[in-house]
Amino acid sequence: MTESIVELRQAALAGDAESMERLAGVLHSTDLQQSEVWMRRAAEAGRVTAMANLGGMLAERDPADAERWTRKAAEAGVDFAMHNLAFQLRKTNPAESLAWYRRAGGYDATVRELEVITGSR
């Protein structure tokens, strides 16, 4: 059974973090501002995938906050957050970026490039 947006919103307003994240996903294509609000609420409620998604949403506008949320998700073991964090760090901290790519089972070309930059193997 598919939930309607009204049902999702009701569950989200009642404090269900999964519904907050799902509502953010539904709203993403029509209302980015509200999508971010609900994704942030889900992240603050402890949803690690919401933390990773919020990090992605903030990447262009607020890189520091994006890194903070992405790091929380990566440290919690979210694979795509590990990759995203590695990507975010590639210019500012290549050694840490390489470590995250390796931890996430990094992309070969990126890992090789970072190994050359950092002088590690």
For residue range 11-23, what is the model confidence (pLDDT) as tens digits?
999 999 999 999 9
52-121 folds as 1.25.40
Q: Give the pLDDT score at 115.
A: 73
The crossing angle, in degrees rounded to 10, of helices 5-13 and 17-27 is 140
In tens, the pLDDT along 46-80 reads: 999 999 999 999 999 999 999 999 999 999 999 89
CA distance 19 to 81: 20
In tens, the pLDDT along 82-106 reads: 989 998 998 899 999 989 988 887 5
Q: Give the pLDDT score at 2.
A: 59
Q: pTM for this structure?
A: 0.84
Q: Give the pLDDT score at 41.
A: 98
CA distance 12 to 19: 5
Placement of tokens 């190994």 in the chain: 115
For the chain, residues classed under CATH 1.25.40 are 52-121
Residue 80 near residue 100 (C-beta atoms within 8 A):
no
Mapped onto helix, strand or coil, the DSSP state of residue 35 is helix
Q: Using 50, 70 and 90 to split pLDDT, how confident is the model at 118?
A: confident
Q: Give the pLDDT score at 38.
A: 98
Mean residue pLDDT across the chain:
90
The crossing angle, in degrees rounded to 10, of helices 79-89 and 63-75 is 140
